[in-house]
Amino acid sequence: MEQALAILITHLTSADRDAPEPDALHHIVLTGGGVGMMVTSRLKEVANALPPRLWAHVHIWWGDERFVSVNSELRNDHDVEKLLGDFYIAENVHRAPSTENCNNVYEAAQIYANDLARFASGTLSTPQFDVVLLGLGPDGHVASLFPHSSLLTDTGICFGLENSPKPPPQRITMSLSTLNCSSITVILASGPAKDQARQRLAARIGSIQETPARGISAREILILG
């Protein structure tokens, strides 16, 4: 976790220094899971380590979200406003729609896709992310892209699903093509339960259908085990 926090600070600072415009926007993708939630809980430390001008241009997204009530503790963005405190900038924190403001998970996914498209970069249909954080599941999944899912080959921006093999069943997830619009992707893969998934991810051959994390690409990929 400490390394993930340091990467966020270092790469945002570097991206800002190398940006062609002084007020360029910077986009990061956070994740759920044990380590992912611990990173979110300490996001205030990242904000505090950056110049105020830079933090004001950092936009926060989540690679996937549970389609539940806005205040549910099951959400990956649970308590983010409280955790950031004075560093919380509402228009820069992109929370996926909840059950209160959407008729179904597919409508919620479309709204999130539209929000992502508002920040399309160059020829991309989505933002160019500075840093993407992803958790690795014991089955090799990332975000809510699970083994043998038809979504693994779909190139849309993000999707809704109703039958997640992990509860809760309804989720919103970015596609592989969206997640791969990244300068650096950090895969959080610590713990003995993920040993086999890490081995499959690192193997020279293997399928995305068996191990969805193999579909992740970026200018730089770092696996923290």
CATH number (domain holding residue 107)? 3.40.50.1360
User: How far is the C-alpha of 176 from the C-alpha of 214, rounded, in Å?
Assistant: 10
User: How far is the C-alpha of 137 from the C-alpha of 31, rounded, in Å?
Assistant: 12
Residue 18: the pLDDT is 83
Q: What is the pTM of this model?
A: 0.95
Residue 94: the pLDDT is 98
Residue 167: the pLDDT is 94
Residue 122: the pLDDT is 83
Contacts of 204 (CB under 8 A, 6+ apart): none
Residue 17: the pLDDT is 87
Which amino acid makes up residue 190?
S
Question: Which residue, 90, 97, 89, is CA-closest to 114?
Answer: 97
Which residues span the domain enclosing 78? 2-224
Count of structural domains within the chain: 1
User: How far is the C-alpha of 221 from the C-alpha of 18, rounded, in Å?
Assistant: 20
**What are the 10-residue block averages of pLDDT along the chain, 225 residues in total?**
92 88 92 90 96 96 98 95 97 97 96 96 90 96 96 95 95 97 94 90 92 94 89
Question: Which residue, 10, 1, 21, 14, is CA-closest to 135?
Answer: 1
